[in-house]
Structure 1
């Protein structure tokens, strides 16, 4: 698959993409737990690199976060969790250019989006519980809404205020 064929496949799948270079595309996929997931598709000589930033390095419990990600890798197809030099979390995959089809691209993007979206809160719970508790306390002390933190209510030791 070349750059024009990849662009055509993305159009067929109705996936909005910005073609940043001849062989590089930036996609924005909508999510539920995460508002959006940005995905890079970069055609190399022999493969298509699929990469998406998931979360920055954990503030705490890095071992627990990375253990969770390694266990999740066993259930993923075509992409896997990885970390960069500073510990930031990414989903990465490489697919052969010669065998890449629109259907396979659709599957890979679906797996990536599902993993990124479904694993986002568990990653935050394991690696940012302290920050979530501090944010909850700060907002409730000021009478501000905690609606977008509702999924983490179980991490807060006090009964939450309505908001």
Structure 2
């Protein structure tokens, strides 16, 4: 119940909280859905879907696609991180793509709780992004680095891995460094 005994629409309430927190949002395509695009430091952006149900707020954010390699270490890393994330956890869809999901009761959902939840989403999607790339896509990253260097292409999108990649370039092929290009 809201002020004066009126029932407050939880969707209106959620969007009001987002406005108070100055988080831009747009109406989603599903009933009760609100979509946010959160800026990141490692991952360019995280798109978050919030769906207001009868009793709970469901959330879902894409983290990263199905890894190419090193699956055991990749998923172990995610599971260990899940232990530290309040209100959210990792899930894998039928294609193996990784999402962050959660369900929070609507009762008591206020700006502080929503702010903490958005922080948990960024902690689960943005914070581990480079490590997930290292674990699940290192061979592709190395190929992309070599391709860009061979053609004089910019390497800015690989900057987070520069030191490791340059160290590999300095090694001989026998030590696991690059082959003749």
TM range (shorter): over 0.9
Alpha-carbon distance, 1:155 to partner: 4.3
Whether the aligned pair in 1 keeps the contact of 2:61 and 2:100 (CA below 8 Å) is yes
Aligned match of 1:11: 19
Aligned residues: 159
Q: Counterpart of 1:37?
A: 46
CA distance in 2, matches of 1:73, 1:15: 25
Are 2:131 and 1:131 equivalent residues in the alignment?
A: no
Flag structure 1 segments of 5+ consecutive residues without an equivalent. Answer: none
Mapped pair 1:66 → 2:75: yes
Unpaired runs of 5+ residues, structure 2, are 1-8, 171-181
**When the two structures are superposed, what TM-score results if normalisation uses the length of structure 2?**
0.84
Instruction: Kindly provide the CA deviation profile for residues 67-109 of structure 1, in whole angstroms up to 9, marking residues without a partner as x.
Output: 1000001111111111111110111110001221121011000
1:87 aligned residue: 96
Check whether the contact 1:129–1:155 (CA below 8 A) recurs between aligned residues: no
Pair 1:104 & 2:116 matched: no
Partner of 1:26: 35
Q: Distance in 2 between matches of 1:14 and 1:146?
A: 34
Deviation at 1:119, TM superposition (A): 0.5
CA distance in 1, matches of 2:84, 2:42: 20
* Structure 1 residue ranges (4+ consecutive) displaced by more than 2 angstroms after TM superposition: none
For residues 76 and 60 of structure 2, the distance between their equivalents in structure 1, rounded to whole angstroms, comes to 20
- RMSD of equivalent CA atoms: 1.3
Q: TM-score, normalised by structure 1?
A: 0.93
Structure (1 or 2) with the larger CA radius of gyration: 2
Q: Distance in 1 between matches of 2:18 and 2:36?
A: 9
Task: Tell me the equivalent position of 1:151.
Answer: 160
Taking the aligned partners of 2:131 and 2:91, their CA distance within structure 1 comes to 16
Higher deviation after alignment, 40-49 or 146-155? 146-155
Return the alpha-carbon distance in structure 1 between the equivalents of residues 90 and 124 of structure 2: 9
SS across alignment from 1:86: coil
Indicate conservation of the 8 Å contact 1:56/1:88, yes or no. yes
Q: In structure 1, how many angstroms separate the alpha carbons of the residues matched to 2:49 and 2:132?
A: 21
